[in-house]
Amino acid sequence: MNPFATAALGLSATALLAGGALYAGMWPTSQIYGHTWIAGDDPSEVALTYDDGPSPDNTPALLELLAQHNVHATFFLIGEHVRRYPQLARRIAEEGHSIGNHTMTHPNLFRSSSATTHRELADCQRLIADTTGVTPRLFRPPFGARNPATLRVARAMHLEPVMWNVTAKDWQPLSVEAIIANIDRDVGRNQRKGRGSNILLHDASHLDTPQKLASRANTLAATAELLMRPGLRFIAL
Ligand SMILES: [Zn+2]
């Protein structure tokens, strides 16, 4: 083989490896970097999960909506937002929803050292426990980004890593119809495979500041529509 062909092969192998690492570290349903919890095998089961909260602009209305339907959801809270809005975090716990750890400051853990990951999880864990009285047992990595060390650190802290298998993409400026279409596509695929669904939604943004909070009105409207659907059983994780 001539050296150019060898070099070209080497290059594509490197590109493949890099692509594989990115897939393993970012793709929500990939299990290459270790097991993460996603969903059970009851196709009618749907877990509504809301990341990045709490937010005074969206969380109270969402809690009212869920209460009207007697449905419990899972909230992956950011420590910094719990510190800002402790009464909202307490209300989520008091109303019987599951609370998970979404780190203190929402870094990309794929690129973080084990020490940083540990500190991010430990600080958030302590704050949620002190604020709500609930010690989370679930952890969702920000952006879904993790590497094998991320999962080891979480497990050593008795935190189960949780990903998702339905991507609503509600962090983009999408219409209610577009959010619903994303959900229907992924839930339909899960049901055809005989799987339950775990829907990634947001009642806040990791970019929220006290001065500027993201509106999640369309997420709430999409949630309201889903809750009216017959044949679905909503579960908290
Ligand atoms: Zn997030």
Are 226 and 183 in contact by the 8 Å Cβ rule? The answer is: yes
Q: Residue 8 corresponds to which amino acid?
A: A
Note the pLDDT of residue 109.
95
Determine the distance separating the centroid of ligand 1 and the alpha carbon of 109, expressed in angstroms. 12
User: For residues 222 and 228, what is the distance between their CA atoms, to the nearest angstrom?
Assistant: 10
- Work out the angle between the directed axes of helices 148-156 and 114-132 (0-180°, nearest 10): 40
Other residues' Cβ atoms within 10 Å of the Cβ of residue 38: 21
pLDDT above 60 for 14: no
Q: What is the CA radius of gyration of the chain?
A: 19
* Structure confidence by residue, pLDDT tens digits, 167-191: 999 999 999 999 999 999 999 999 9
CB neighbour class for 123 (10 Å; exposed up to 12, middle 13-18, buried from 19): middle
Closest CA to 78 of 168, 207, 169, 173: 207
The residue count for the chain: 237
Q: Which residues are known catalytic residues?
A: 51, 202
Closest CA to 121 of 134, 97, 145, 138: 138
pLDDT above 80 for 85: yes
Retrieve residue 212's tokens: 């500027």
Q: Give the DSSP H/E element, type plus range, for residue 190.
A: helix 176-192
Closest CA to 78 of 130, 46, 42, 121: 121
Determine the distance separating the centroid of ligand 1 and the alpha carbon of 15, expressed in angstroms. 28
User: For residues 36 and 54, what is the distance between their CA atoms, to the nearest angstrom?
Assistant: 24
Determine the distance separating the centroid of ligand 1 and the alpha carbon of 64, expressed in angstroms. 22
pLDDT (mean) for 92-113: 97
For the whole model, what pTM was predicted? 0.89
Closest CA to 235 of 88, 97, 51, 36: 97
* Structure confidence by residue, pLDDT tens digits, 114-154: 999 999 999 999 999 999 999 999 999 999 999 889 999 99
Q: Is 160 helix (H, G, I), strand (E, B) or coil?
A: strand
User: For residues 15 and 24, what is the distance between their CA atoms, to the nearest angstrom?
Assistant: 14
User: For residues 114 and 107, what is the distance between their CA atoms, to the nearest angstrom?
Assistant: 13
Q: Give the DSSP H/E element, type plus range, for residue 202.
A: strand 197-202
Determine the distance separating the centroid of ligand 1 and the alpha carbon of 102, expressed in angstroms. 7
User: For residues 111 and 171, what is the distance between their CA atoms, to the nearest angstrom?
Assistant: 22
pLDDT above 50 for 2: no
Determine the distance separating the centroid of ligand 1 and the alpha carbon of 58, expressed in angstroms. 15
